[in-house]
Structure 1
Amino acid sequence: MQVTKTKLEEKDYAVALDIWERSVLETHEFLKESDRLELKKEIPTYFKYVEAYLWYDDDEVIGFSGTNEQNLEMLFIDPKYINQGYGTNIVQYLIKENKVQFVDVNKDNDNAIKFYEKNGFIKYDESQKDEQGRDYPILHMKLA
């Protein structure tokens, strides 16, 4: 597994958004359809506020990430590459190179919580709503 990255540019937004949507459909069964469609419109506006990368294995795009200072703001893996070590590879890179220390995770996303715990994060706080004020509880996690 040779994972590489390129900076996410505006020309790549459609690719990232496609990965986001397929990943969310696969992993966020708790998300209401109306909220998913709203989020799909919002996601591209967030890209310019984060240090965003497309991640590749050879020529295949496997996912994208976005960090802001020490926060992992987004990490989405194409469903066909989930559970193959790519996410761990990317998170460990971001911890080491981008000094990521924090991540917020939907409380209802058990697999994501387990994934971040496996990668050294622990819960330190909780919010009843997401950053947009929707009724999705969020776990705030930090590197142990």
Structure 2
Amino acid sequence: MKRIFLFTLATALLLSACGTAREGIEVRDAWARSSTQGMNSAVYFVIENHNAQADELIGAESDAAEAVEIHESKMEGDMMMMSHAEAVILEPSTAVEFKPGGYHVMLIRLTRDLKAGDEVEITLHFKSSPDLTLKVTVKDADGMQNMNGY
């Protein structure tokens, strides 16, 4: 009887451990630069694909801006260049950091001021996964390294 109980307990623990694997797309550490109405801002975060298949971030939207685009900043020679990215590939079980001087979501022509402590809502669109809506905290841009503003 004791052996049956121990076997059942061990089996239950093993099965519960198997059920803890995460799936889907996870976004963490999201923040946006403060800026004023009519100007631009950028949103940064870490995005992780917990799925077994690759996916792509293909777009974003927010009512805080007239347009929202995925951009990538990178050094070309001795100049920082920023360009529109059609998509960002998210390989399985990997994370991509959106950060100043790299990938970011560009909020173009803000429809309102974004002040430190405010929240802005942004929806990310994926090729395969469902849309993901985030509430992003605005941080003061003063004192941050400014790579062409983003």
Q: Do they superpose with TM above 0.5?
A: no
TM-score normalised by L of structure 2: 0.24
**Bigger fraction of residues in strand:** 2
Higher helix share: 1
Normalising by structure 1, report the TM-score: 0.24
